[in-house]
Amino acid sequence: MNYILFAVPFFFLLIALELLADRWRGTSTYRLGDALNSLSAGVLSTTSGLLTKGIGLVTYVFAWQHLALFELSAQSAWVWVFAFVFYDFCYYWNHRLGHERSILWAAHAVHHQSEEYNLSTALRQTSTGFLFGWIFYLPMAVAGVPPLVFLTVAALNLLYQFWVHTRHIPKLGWFEWVFISPSNHRVHHAQNPVYMDRNYGGVFILWDRLFGTFQEELDEEPVVFGVTVPLASWNPLWANLQVYAALWNDARRAGSWWDKLRIWFMRTGWRPADVAARYPLQKPDLATFRKFEVPLSRGRQWYAALQFAGYV
């Protein structure tokens, strides 16, 4: 069963309910352009995934058939528990390196470009993650986790992550110590220096506590959502290409061939010294940060919303 496809109507229902709560409370966590951009990125990811997801699955099945060290049965409840936890461990490292290495950040950045934080943000997914993401889950194949079990726990992990993309749920006490919550995932989506590159788990926050990447949401440090190099566009295609284009331009401008090659694999944000000197980046000051917006008349807003609804 395709759990994600089955859940899509519930995703949109919950987004509608959150939007109603947002309007009732006057919290302004939704803007039309931002939400449609996130949802459009999600539609693009789903559509392109029809062609690309097979790459990861084929490599997983091949590794499971030829490299598995153990024969694990899908009939065992313990195998399912093991796989669920193991998947989240692999996800942690996929997610962490997706922030820490430029070529991987180029794919993952799409999910973080929104300057709002709501349930529509959860559906803002990359269309290029298939290029390298599959590598991080091969240890599960080598451990002998059957493909059916792998696909199921992967879907459950992704489904869990949907509900934490909200600003309407406060801290949850003891829950925060074990699981990813709306509070500690808000931290993950922040561009505040104190919050950046923290809280990578998908279901469990325990990995972050274990490997030193945990950060609590602080009352004295309100979260500013988004990325330090703003997208400044509502184009979902450009959202997927922005970081790749920036890396390509820096590589093209670099004087050293070594810099042209290594820029793709260096820590995110690294730039060749000669390029950084000639083409400095202007990063926003959080004290004066303004969200990207394109003013539209009420009629055009309705047109855009109805056009998207018709497309979906």
How confident is the model over 93-147, as pLDDT tens digits?
999 999 999 999 999 999 999 999 999 999 999 999 999 999 999 999 999 999 9
Residue 13 domain flag? yes
CA distances to 157, 251, 272 from 277, rounded to whole Å, are 43, 14, 9
Residue 23 domain flag? no
The pLDDT assigned to 312 comes to 63
Closest CA to 61 of 140, 2, 130: 140
Q: What is the DSSP letter of 267?
A: B
Average pLDDT, the chain: 94
- Is 46's pLDDT higher than 80? yes
Residue 204 sits at φ, ψ, to 5 deg, of: -105, 130
> Nearest 5 degrees, angle CA 296-CA 298-CA 304?
70
- As a whole number, mean pLDDT of residues 265-270 equals 97
Residue 226 domain flag? yes
pTM: 0.94
Residue 75 domain flag? yes
Split into its structural domains, the chain has a count of 1
Tell me the one-letter amino acid at 216: E
Residue 22 domain flag? no
Closest CA to 144 of 204, 86, 207: 86
Q: Any idea of the CA torsion for 125, 130, 134, 136, to the nearest 10 degrees?
A: -50
Residue 89 domain flag? yes
Cβ neighbours, 10 Å, residue 36: 19
287 band by pLDDT with thresholds 50, 70 and 90: confident
User: What is the Cα 305 distance to its own chain's centre?
Assistant: 24
> What is the span of the domain harbouring residue 110?
1-17+28-312
Residue 108 domain flag? yes
Instruction: Write out the E strands in the chain.
Output: none
Q: Is the CB of residue 69 less than 8 Å from the CB of residue 144?
A: yes
Percent of the chain with pLDDT over 70: 98
Residue 9 domain flag? yes
The pLDDT assigned to 311 comes to 63
